[in-house]
Amino acid sequence: TMGTEGLKAVRKKVTRALKDATNKARVASTGGTSFRAVATAFAPVLSLEQLEVLLEVARANLMSAHLVEEEVVGLRLYTGPSFTFINGSLRNVKANLAHCNVIHAICSGLTHLSTVAGIPENRVVYRGLGEMRLPY
């Protein structure tokens, strides 16, 4: 079994590999990343068995948030090219009702996710959100 320090070391390696992989695996047409390229980048960091365990733990954690389909869709839209349109609606002085349902789904999804995922230790949070917690 791996102790706390071992887990922290693995987490650091995985985080670094993920950051490097996502920077190198951008898909020009969508601005997203290629799952295959990201998974390949983990080969020197984790064995296939370790990667499968990591994915299963992440999936179980995500499932415990009990997200509904609309929240998943809203969160996926916000993490893709639609971010520009949604964020534009949020920053617009006049309310743009075109994205209000998506924005509601995003907020609801983030609230549910906050119940199963916290901000990692030593993470710097900007824009006055330090020490802030989402309701649950």
pLDDT digits (tens, 9 = 90+) for 86-102: 888 887 767 677 788 99
Confidence of residue 40 (pLDDT cuts 50, 70, 90): confident
Confidence of residue 68 (pLDDT cuts 50, 70, 90): very high
Q: Rounded mean pLDDT of 114-127?
A: 72
- pLDDT over threshold 80, residue 65: yes
Number of H helices, E strands in the chain: 6, 0
Confidence of residue 73 (pLDDT cuts 50, 70, 90): very high
Please tell me the predicted confidence (pLDDT) of residue 121: 73
Q: Which residues are registered as beta bridge partners of 33?
A: 26
Distance CA 31, CA 80 (A): 7
Q: Whose structure tokens read 């948030």?
A: 65
Please tell me the predicted confidence (pLDDT) of residue 61: 78
Distance CA 75, CA 27 (A): 19
Please tell me the predicted confidence (pLDDT) of residue 52: 78
Distance CA 66, CA 114 (A): 11
Backbone region of residue 77 per phi and psi (left: phi > 0; alpha: psi in -120 to 50; beta: other values): alpha
Averaged confidence pLDDT in the chain: 77
Q: Which residues are registered as beta bridge partners of 18?
A: none
- Retrieve residue 95's tokens: 């309310």
Q: How many CB atoms lie within 10 A of CB 91?
A: 8
